[in-house]
Structure 1
Amino acid sequence: MQAKLYRQIILSLICFLLLATASWAENKEIITIFHAGSLSVPFAEIEKAFEEQYPQYNVQREASGSRAAARKITDIKKPADVMASADYKVIDNLMIPDNAKFNAQFATNEMAIAFTGKAKYADQITAENWPQIFLKEGVKVGHSDPNMDPCGYRSMLVTKLAEDYYKMPGLFDQLFGYGDSFQNGEENSAKVIVRPKETDLLGLIEAGMYDYLYIYKSVAEQHNLKYLTLPEEVSLKSAKFADQYKKATFQINGKKPGEWITKKGGPMVYGITVAENNICPANKEGAVLFVKFVLSEQGQAIMKKNGQGVIAPAIVTGDSSILY
Structure 2
Amino acid sequence: MSTGRGISRRAYLAAVGTAAAGGYAGCTGAAAESVSVLSAGSLATTFDDYVAPAFEAETGTAVHGEYYGTNAVMRMVEDRTKHPDVIVSADATLLRDRLYGEFTDWDVEFATNSLGLGYHKSTSVGRALDAGRPWYEVAREVDDGEVAISDPDLDPLGYRALQAFELAEREHGLDGFREEMSRRVYLEPEEPQLMAGVESGSRAAAVVYRNMAVDHGMPFVEFPDAYNFSDPSLSDHYSTAAYTTEEGYTAEGRPIIYNATTKQGADNPDAGRRLVQFLADNPGLLDEAGLTVTADLPRGHGDLPEDVEG
**Does residue 294 in structure 1 map to residue 279 in structure 2?**
yes
Q: How does 1:206-285 map to 2 (within 5 A)?
A: 206-254=199-247, 260-276=248-264, 278-280=265-267, 283-285=268-270
Q: Structure 1 CA distance, aligned partners of 2:30 and 2:62?
A: 8
Change (3 A) 1:117 1:25: farther
- Aligned counterpart, 1:315: 299
Cα distance, 1:121 vs structure 2: 3.4
Pair 1:109 & 2:113 matched? yes
Q: 306-315 or 36-45, which moves further after superposition?
A: 306-315
The within-5 A match list for 1:67-78 is 67-78=71-82
Residue of structure 1 equivalent to 2:94: 90
Task: Please give the alpha-carbon distance, in whole angstroms, between the structure 2 residues aligned to 1:163 and 1:128.
Answer: 17
Which deviates further from its counterpart, 195-204 or 235-244? 195-204
Q: Which has the larger radius of gyration?
A: 1
CA distance in structure 1 between the partners assigned to 2:223 and 2:293 by the alignment: 20
Q: 1:24, 1:90 → 2: CA distance?
A: 42
Q: CA deviation at 1:313?
A: 4.0
C-alpha deviations, 1:104-147, integer Å up to 9, x for none? 11110000101012322322237762222112152621000111
Q: Which moved more, 1:304-313 or 1:215-224?
A: 304-313
The answer to whether the aligner puts 1:175 opposite 2:169 as a matched pair is no
Is the partner of 1:250 in helix, strand or coil? strand
Q: Which residue of 2 aligns with 1:182?
A: none
Structure 1 vs Structure 2: percent identity of aligned residues? 24
SS of equivalent to 2:298: strand
Give the drift of 1:65: 1.1
Tell me if the contact between 1:250 and 1:262 (Cα under 8 Å) persists in the aligned partners: yes
Contact 2:114-2:229 at 8 Å conserved across structures = yes
Alignment CA distance shift 1:22-1:133 (3 Å): farther
Post-superposition CA distance 1:249-279 (Å, at most 9, x none): 111144xxxxx12211111111110112x42
3-state DSSP of counterpart to 1:134: helix
Instruction: Give the drift of 1:79.
Output: 1.4
Is 1:129 aligned to 2:134, yes or no?
Answer: yes
In the TM superposition, residue 60 of structure 1 has moved relative to its aligned partner by 0.8
- Give the TM-score normalised by structure 1: 0.81
Q: CA deviation at 1:40?
A: 1.7
Considering only aligned residues, what root-mean-square deviation do their CA atoms show, in Å?
2.1
Judge conservation of contact 1:110–1:237 (CA < 8 Å) in 2. Answer: yes
Residue in structure 2 matched with residue 53 of structure 1 by the alignment: 58
Q: Counterpart amino acid of 2:285?
A: I
Structure-to-structure mapping, 1:193-212, within 5 angstroms: 193-212=186-205
Return 70-79 or 106-115, whichever deviates more: 70-79
SS of the residue corresponding to residue 164 of structure 2 reads helix
Is the aligned partner of 1:42 residue 2:80?
Answer: no
Unaligned runs of 5+ in 2: 1-24
Count of aligned positions: 281
The answer to whether the 8 Å contact 2:67/2:192 transfers is no
Moved over 4 A (4+): 20-23
Instruction: Please state how far the C-alpha of 1:240 moved relative to its aligned partner.
Output: 2.2
Q: Distance in 1 between matches of 2:213 and 2:27?
A: 38
Tell me if structure 2 keeps the 8 A contact 1:151–1:197.
no
Contact 1:119 / 1:210 at 8 angstroms: preserved in 2? no
